[in-house]
Structure 1
Amino acid sequence: MDVLISGAGIAGPALAFWLARAGHRVTVVERAPRLRQGGQAVDFRGRVQLGVLERMGLLAAVRERATHVGDTVVEDAAGRRLARLPAVFTSGDVEIVRGDLVGLLHEVTQADVEYVFGDGVAGLRGGEVVFERSGARRFDLVVGADGLGSVVRRLAFGVRRARHLGMYQAVFSMPEGAAEPGSAVMFSLPGVSASVHGHRGRVLGGLDFASPELEPELGADGLDPHRLLAERFAGVGWRVPELLAAARRAPDFYFAPAAQLELERWSAGPVVLLGDAAWAPGPGGMGTGLGLVGAYVLAGELAGELAGSDGAGSDVAGSDVAGSDVAAAVAGAGRRFEAVMRPFVAEGQRQALGAEGFLVPGTRGRIWARNQFFRMASVMPGKGLVGRLASRAADRVPLPDYPLRVAG
């Protein structure tokens, strides 16, 4: 097949990984002029997510690039420790900076996949795609893996808005030396939280604030995130002035609302949505893990439909289906992909609900209660038990065993 994937983040290149190895001709188009290296640390947890990484042959490489961040320490304005949350709750079984993962996925796919940067999808007419800069091309499958603000979703499904989860988040790099490697500190006042994480080879800062969904001012092109942050964090203290200054200088500054998507369908004819473009679970909803699992499931179901079997019993390689059979196979794979993934997504979205109460508690009493939970979690007996509790949602749904081959 000729496949177009919109979005060179995580879910899109992960799908490209599988499809290129199956012999399909894959193009990934990305509106940014280069890979987006910014973003916070992301984690994988449980046997399902780690199992997909292992099937891709990438688990060892992810472990090599792991952040190795320890427990999160909650401080007061004077820097005194108030509570500590075990790393297994925040970092999963393995944690990696998002930009490092994006780079790794590009590294293992660039030889077999056509990457087009600085362009994007402007129109869809069935399998024909109109691009913003280059000429129109026809594809058997178009995958929207272009995030929460997906253009493909808007063009194919007409859905623009997501459900706001009551907060906004900013993530950005800080100067070297702003934190010790492996450290994580957090400070909260009602409705705002600030954090500094010392990851492998870099330091990341975070500024979160509770808010209803904000609209741009009349006549403005959009929200000014730096003005918003300055207003929301005025007079907060702790290391916030340092964080605000770093945010303004950071080349990888990222700012976005916390949101979820709940769509009636993720596929329509030759178009399929994947990752945050389809479901956007929200903070703490295992979004990166769901993106990789979704790519594996979609590739497996496409393999099964193209081979004329039931997906889990087919081989990804060697399929050669022509004409209208390809369209039927794509449509069938889209339906099966939805059926398999919806329980995974439901678990992630359920886990993310109430994240604002955890990250940006609205009162001093709620901050105190959250810190008490942190204290109890830090003394729970047995690291294995804590790990199982943290990974329970990730492993609650079984994953089909698709015979997708990596070798060659």
Structure 2
Amino acid sequence: MQNKTVLISGASVAGPALSYWLDRYGFDVTVVEKAPGLRPGGQAIDFTGETHMTVLERMGVLEDIKRRQTGRTDISFVDESGRQLAFMSGDFTGGDLEILRGDLAQVLYNRTGDRAEYLFGDTVTALTETADGVYVEFQHAPARWFDLVFGCDGIHSRVRKLVFGPEADYVQHQGYYYCIAGSSPWENDGRGEPERGQSDSFNAPGRMVSLGGSKAAQMYLFAADELDYPRDDFDAQRRIVAETFADLGWEVPRMLTELPYLEGFYLDSISKVKMKHFTNGRVALVGDAAYGSTLAGFGTGLAVVGAYVLAGELAAADGDHTAAFARYEQIMKRYTSKSDDASPGRFLAPKTARGIRMRNWFLGSRAFGLMLKYGDKAKNDIDLIDYPQSVGAR
């Protein structure tokens, strides 16, 4: 296969995972990331079942992730006095293997950073496709030609907007927002066993607030129609959170006082990406950009599996992107359809007091166990092809 130059937009999870496989298959890889460097910390994400573990093992990163895994976090739903009303075990919420998103990005980068070219602090501003390639313009770097372009840049994908159209055409707001702030008290530096933690969560109709645990130091979740706020104005976003939760008791007044001083603040909507096609010409989307489902517990596994499938199909098709993209869509459309039923906002923050009571009852019922088993089965409902480990690697 003749070496092809490819551009990957995004250096969180899908981007470095795709970079790893494409490099193994002999592609010349460039990764562009708008952040000035890898983003540390972040929320804990998990992998579950044979499919996820097989892909991680074939990448050679499974043991690295195990050394950096966080302890599973039990969630205790409490009333205003701190009395436990319901309980959700971290054995359910943390999957088989849990790690902070930033730590996972570092593990993946360690496997690709010395081979792929990384352009941090930059972003794609224009894409022009011709019969021979894609002319890419950047905010800072000089414009260049690439054979293929991959959007691995998240639910608010810049590549998707430039090639497929406005975000509103593909991103469906699910009626909730979530905010994560602070660093995890259960990070693992790889030198010891992860410590199990507990997160206490307090509900009011349409709202939930959590304190502690490996998911985040503070987490806020609330029902709201689509909000109009500047994505780079974190002070404005903190005011939204403070105003939304100002009337609650429990630990909330103290948490809101501490909120302006916590690192790692992030506010976004709970949304799903719905697309008929993940590819267009010489451009393909991977991970949240193509089939994201915020907080639903599917995203990271989908991203890693999607990167494996796309790169494998390109290798199997000897670089013929038309054939490879068609197979990638066929495989991933079936696999990602299983995540469509997830609705984390309504489950974590029911909009009525009765809904909260029903949720608490459900957590202790047999039906909850059956739901978890269905979710685990969905994450592994794919015939994982054993692609060659390398084809003409450099």
Normalising by structure 1, we get a TM-score of: 0.86
User: What's the CA shift for 1:2?
Assistant: 0.6
Select the residue among 173, 182, 189 that pairs with 1:173: 182
**Counterpart for residue 323 of structure 1:** none
In structure 2, how many angstroms separate the alpha carbons of the residues matched to 1:61 and 1:32? 24
Pairing 1:164–2:173 present: yes
User: What's the CA shift for 1:378?
Assistant: 11
**Counterpart for residue 324 of structure 2:** 333
User: What's the CA shift for 1:360?
Assistant: 1.0
Distance 1:165 1:223, change over 3 A: farther
In structure 1, how many angstroms separate the alpha carbons of the residues matched to 2:182 and 2:367? 28
**Counterpart for residue 373 of structure 1:** 362
Distance 1:332 1:197, change over 3 A: farther
**Counterpart for residue 195 of structure 1:** 210
Residue segments in structure 1 that go unaligned for 5+ positions in a row: 307-325
In structure 2, how many angstroms separate the alpha carbons of the residues matched to 1:232 and 1:391? 34
Residue segments in structure 2 that go unaligned for 5+ positions in a row: 187-194
**Counterpart for residue 346 of structure 2:** 357
In structure 2, how many angstroms separate the alpha carbons of the residues matched to 1:207 and 1:386? 24
User: Post-superposition, which runs of at least 4 consecutive aligned residues in structure 1 deviate over 6 A?
Assistant: 220-223
Letter in 2 for 1:256: D
In structure 1, how many angstroms separate the alpha carbons of the residues matched to 2:366 and 2:210? 20
Pairing 1:121–2:124 present: yes
In structure 2, how many angstroms separate the alpha carbons of the residues matched to 1:343 and 1:388? 19
Identity of aligned residues (%): 41
Q: How many residues align?
A: 375
Letter in 2 for 1:188: N
In structure 2, how many angstroms separate the alpha carbons of the residues matched to 1:256 and 1:269? 30
CA displacement, residues 109-130 of structure 1 (integer Å, 9 cap, x when unaligned): 1111111101110111111101
Letter in 1 for 2:337: A
**Counterpart for residue 316 of structure 1:** none
In structure 2, how many angstroms separate the alpha carbons of the residues matched to 1:265 and 1:203? 34
**Matching of residues 86-125 of structure 1 within 5 Å:** 86-125=89-128
In structure 2, how many angstroms separate the alpha carbons of the residues matched to 1:405 and 1:388? 35
In structure 2, how many angstroms separate the alpha carbons of the residues matched to 1:45 and 1:102? 18
User: What's the CA shift for 1:76?
Assistant: 1.2
CA displacement, residues 300-355 of structure 1 (integer Å, 9 cap, x when unaligned): 0000111xxxxxxxxxxxxxxxxxxx5xx1122111111110111111122x2x32
User: What's the CA shift for 1:275?
Assistant: 0.8
Pairing 1:293–2:323 present: no
Select the residue among 49, 52, 70 that pairs with 2:52: 49
User: What's the CA shift for 1:237?
Assistant: 1.5
In structure 1, how many angstroms separate the alpha carbons of the residues matched to 2:43 and 2:120? 22
Distance 1:174 1:139, change over 3 A: closer
**Counterpart for residue 346 of structure 1:** 337
Distance 1:227 1:19, change over 3 A: same
**Counterpart for residue 257 of structure 1:** 269
**Matching of residues 9-408 of structure 1 within 5 Å:** 9-126=12-129, 127-161=134-168, 162-174=171-183, 182-199=197-214, 204-216=217-229, 224-306=236-318, 329-350=320-341, 352=342, 354-376=343-365, 388-405=373-390
Distance 1:243 1:106, change over 3 A: farther
In structure 1, how many angstroms separate the alpha carbons of the residues matched to 2:329 and 2:235? 34
